[in-house]
Structure 1
Amino acid sequence: MDILIFIVSMTALIYGADFIIHQSEKIAFHYNISPFVIGATLVAVGTSLPEMAVSISASLKGSADIAVANVIGSTIFNIALVLGAVFLLAKKIMPDRDLFAKDSAWALFPILVFILMSIDGKLSLVDGILFLFLMCGFLLFLISSNQVEELDDELKKEPFGWGKSALFLALGFILTIGGADFAINSASSIAREFGISEWLIGLFLVAFGTSLPELTISVKAALNNQADLAIGNIIGSNVANFTMVLGVASIVNPLNVDLTGNFFDIAAAFILSLMLVFITANKMYNKSAGIALMVVFGLVIQNSFM
């Protein structure tokens, strides 16, 4: 039964991703908003809702390891697996936006702040509030750096109406978030039968499930030549995961963080964030960069299970 639920959940995620991408493009064109900004705000926040739901629930239940590992794992999945898959599957990626000059810092700020906050072994109420302030700073930055890019001619011909777009966006988010939720539950129930630790459940199964919306949306966006939307979704999701997800979860209930015991995984998330900055600096939007990201992902799996 769990396998069937997982397959149905994946199908819902794929269809939901289609709705979100198409309507996001229409909104971007209608209001002269950069597809990157749409990807880093509307789509990123929407696809981060599964992480928020899981981390808040884990925080309330006193399962800090799941709450924190979910965010660390999602960062690893978003950059190594999602961005790696985007580079490997897309025929050509040519972002219109200068991602290194404008956005690469936001790939590092959240995890650096997280490490600094976690040195004392916990994320407190004050830390959570500061995380939310950081998210406000990110949103202000996006608004001030909006750069309009031209969308395809077919999209221009489609009539725009907020009612229809809102309906399809809502349906898309319901399918992606709902699909991720069922995927998490089915995968977690299988994992618990084998006695896997909460950190590993959060780092892999839960993080993979909550990263499925980012994976499906970013890969489909890249295949549709919407590289800015794909990469913007990943950067925005990582910012939202640290600032909104951990911020709200630590406000609900302070979270204990074991930097020493989970050093490898946290270091991997940090190194991948550095690699993202390096990729944007050198415009390495190609298959070789995708392979390099997948290699780090393989090392994470090896360290955890072998």
Structure 2
Amino acid sequence: MDFLIFIVSMTALIYGAEFIIQQSEKIALHYNISHFVIGATLVAVGTSLPEMAVSMSASLKGSGDIAVANVIGSTIFNISLVLGAVFLVAKKISPNRDLFAKDSAWSLFPILVFILMAIDGKLNAVDGILFLFLMGGYLIFLINSNQVEEIDEELAKEKFEWIKTLLLLAVGFIFVVGGADFAIDSASNIARTFGISEWVIGLFLIAFGTSLPELTISIKSAMKNNADLAIGNIIGSNVANFTMVLGVSSIVNVLNVDLTKNFFDITAAFIVSLMLVFITANKLYNKSAGIALLVVLALVIQNSLA
């Protein structure tokens, strides 16, 4: 039964991603918003809903470690797995936006702020409010840096209908978030069947599962040669995870953070963020970069399982 649920949930993820991409492009066209900005805002916030649900639930239950680990793990998966997969499946990646000059700092800044805030061993409501202000600053930055780009001419011919667009967008997000939730549960049950420990399930399946929306949407965007939306979704999701997810979670309840105990995972998240900066600086949007990112992910998993 779990195998069937897993297949159905993955199907929901794929179709949900299709709805989100199509309707996001229509909104972008209607308001002359670039694919990157749409990916880094509307799509990124939507695909961060699973992380938000998991971390808020963990925070309410007093499990601050799970809330923080989910964000750290999702950051690692978003960059190493999702971006790596994008580079491997895309025929050609030529972003219209100068990602290094405009956006690379946003892949590092949130995690640096997180480390500074967590030096005292906790994230409280004041930290949470500051995180939300940082998210607001990011949104203002994106709006001010918006640049209009060429959009599918066939799409441009279609009449824009707000009700239909919002309805399909909502259906897409429901499919993506719901699909991710059921995928996590069914995969966890399958893992237990094969005797995999609860600790390994929690460490990898939750972070991987909450990154499934980003993975699905970014890969489908890349296959449609929409690199800006794919990469914008990854960078925007990471910013949303640190600012919005941790921000709201720490306002709900104080989150205890042990930087020493979680040194490896936090360092790994910082290293893959540095790799993203290096890739954008040198415009290494190719399969070699994708393989390098996946190798780093394999090393992280190997070390965690050792």
Q: TM-score, normalised by structure 1?
A: 0.96
Instruction: Measure how far apart 1:230 and its partner are.
Output: 0.3
Q: Does 1:104 align with 2:104?
A: yes
Whole-Å separation in 2 of the counterparts to 1:253 and 1:187: 29
Instruction: Please say which of residues 12-21 and 203-212 is displaced more in the overlay.
Output: 203-212
Q: Which amino acid aligns with 2:238?
A: N
Partner of 2:208 in structure 1? 208
Q: Cα deviation per residue 1:148-178 (whole Å; 9 max; x = unaligned)?
A: 1111221112221111111110110000011
Partner of 2:139 in structure 1? 139
Whole-Å separation in 2 of the counterparts to 1:169 and 1:157: 19
Instruction: Please say which of residues 90-99 and 119-128 is displaced more in the overlay.
Output: 119-128
Whole-Å separation in 2 of the counterparts to 1:50 and 1:111: 19
Q: Cα deviation per residue 1:116-150 (whole Å; 9 max; x = unaligned)?
A: 11111111111111111110110010111111111
Q: Which amino acid aligns with 1:69?
A: A
Task: Describe the SS at the equivalent of 2:150.
Answer: coil
Question: 1:8-27 residue pairs with structure 2 within 5 A?
Answer: 8-27=8-27
Partner of 1:60 in structure 2? 60
Instruction: Please say which of residues 185-194 and 258-267 is displaced more in the overlay.
Output: 185-194
Partner of 1:69 in structure 2? 69
Partner of 1:29 in structure 2? 29
Gaps of 5+ in 2: none
Q: Does 1:79 align with 2:108?
A: no
Whole-Å separation in 1 of the counterparts to 2:8 and 2:127: 38
Instruction: Please say which of residues 114-123 and 88-97 is displaced more in the overlay.
Output: 114-123
State the Cα RMSD in Å.
1.2
Equivalent pair of 1:3/1:186 in contact (CA under 8 Å): yes
Whole-Å separation in 2 of the counterparts to 1:142 and 1:257: 30
Task: Describe the SS at the equivalent of 1:119.
Answer: helix
Partner of 1:227 in structure 2? 227
Partner of 2:198 in structure 1? 196
Partner of 1:268 in structure 2? 268
Instruction: Measure how far apart 1:203 and its partner are.
Output: 3.5
Task: Give the count of matched residue pairs.
Answer: 304
Whole-Å separation in 2 of the counterparts to 1:190 and 1:248: 32
Going from structure 1 to structure 2, the CA distance change for 1:140 and 1:166 (only over 3 Å counts) comes to same
Whole-Å separation in 2 of the counterparts to 1:81 and 1:195: 23
Whole-Å separation in 2 of the counterparts to 1:285 and 1:194: 36
Partner of 2:48 in structure 1? 48
Equivalent pair of 2:2/2:190 in contact (CA under 8 Å): yes
Task: Describe the SS at the equivalent of 1:96.
Answer: coil
Going from structure 1 to structure 2, the CA distance change for 1:63 and 1:189 (only over 3 Å counts) comes to farther
Whole-Å separation in 2 of the counterparts to 1:9 and 1:276: 30
Q: Cα deviation per residue 1:16-61 (whole Å; 9 max; x = unaligned)?
A: 0000001111111111001100000000000001100110001111
Equivalent pair of 1:188/1:205 in contact (CA under 8 Å): yes
Equivalent pair of 1:67/1:202 in contact (CA under 8 Å): no
Whole-Å separation in 2 of the counterparts to 1:60 and 1:188: 22
Task: Describe the SS at the equivalent of 2:147.
Answer: coil
Gaps of 5+ in 1: none
Question: 1:139-218 residue pairs with structure 2 within 5 A?
Answer: 139-190=139-190, 194-197=196-199, 200-218=200-218
Instruction: Measure how far apart 1:186 and its partner are.
Output: 2.4
Q: Which amino acid aligns with 1:252?
A: V
Task: Describe the SS at the equivalent of 2:40.
Answer: helix
Q: Which amino acid aligns with 1:162?
A: W
Instruction: Measure how far apart 1:205 and its partner are.
Output: 0.7
Instruction: Measure how far apart 1:109 and its partner are.
Output: 0.7
Q: TM-score, normalised by structure 2?
A: 0.96
Whole-Å separation in 2 of the counterparts to 1:191 and 1:258: 28
Equivalent pair of 2:3/2:190 in contact (CA under 8 Å): no
Equivalent pair of 1:72/1:203 in contact (CA under 8 Å): no
Q: Does 1:302 align with 2:302?
A: yes
Equivalent pair of 1:65/1:202 in contact (CA under 8 Å): no
* Percent identical: 81
